[in-house]
Amino acid sequence: MNKINKLLQKKHKSKIVCLTAYSKNIASILDDHCDLVLVGDSLGSVLYNYKSTRQVSLASMIEHSKSVKLGIKKSLMVVDMPHNTYRSSKEALKNAKLIISKTKCDAVKLEGGKKITPIIETLVKNKIHVMGHLGVLPQSAKSFRFKGKKITERNKILNDAKLLESAGVFSIVLECVETSLAKLITQKINIPTIGIGASNNCDGQVLVTDDLIGLNPINFRFVKKYSNLRSEIKKAVSKYSKDVRNKKFPSKKQSY
């Protein structure tokens, strides 16, 4: 059974665990605990301090993904297709093939609903596995606010989810989608939903690893910090600095 089928079988049975990775070392840790590892274009803000994911290049995504792949043995690996790399079916197919050939990932992720369904259909027909993404769409959002408060917006997102499923995506990320809407979508479609700020009604959850471990100093409502790695690194660097200045490092033990 391939990784995609294993993920599909988890629908309504067991929760899907997903986290982001941008490098081999982090990926190798996540691989023991995650069903799915996402190389997200969130690396733009997390690593490069970009104001928007729209600044992330295809080349950058490929290089980080190549590193992540070195740490993956069992997890499903999905790579975000960056902004302006899937404006047409032809462009999407060319770039998706490039990502897969260079990184050996299992699938790509695209943001959007009805507008990109023909593009997704083209990729799927060419045997490329695609993950969808609805709700807040960082590549096109002008402002950050949760989705699903208004009836028209709820209906559109639900309809988009059904269209994405029909187009052939194997799962859909729901970002910052109102709780009852996330539950409804999860019930109405036969593929897994992966939530981020979309309640525990989804089939699985994803977070940015740097946020989860407290390395990225941000505070979003949907982020739970399971560790304060930033503080631990500060302590280690402080001790190292003092040892060097006080001529305690390197000792004979660390010398040749």
How does strand 107-109 pair with strand 171-175?
unpaired
Active site residue 175: yes
Q: How much is the pTM?
A: 0.95
Q: What is the mean pLDDT of the chain?
A: 96
Which listed residue (111, 165, 175, 178) is catalytic? Answer: 175
The whole-angstrom separation of Cα 203 and Cα 199 is: 10
C-alpha distances out from residue 9 to 123, 148, 160, 195, 217, Å: 22, 27, 22, 17, 36
On the question of pLDDT at 70 being above 80, the answer is yes
Three-state DSSP class for residue 137: coil
Among 59-63, 215-219, 221-225, the least confident range: 215-219
Residue 161 CB burial class (10 angstroms; 0-12, 13-18, ≥19): buried
Three-state DSSP class for residue 8: helix
The pLDDT of residue 221: 83
Residue 206 CB burial class (10 angstroms; 0-12, 13-18, ≥19): buried
Phi and psi angles of residue 178, each rounded to the nearest 5 degrees, phi first: -55, 145
Domains and CATH numbers, the chain: 3-225 (3.20.20.60), 228-256 (no CATH)
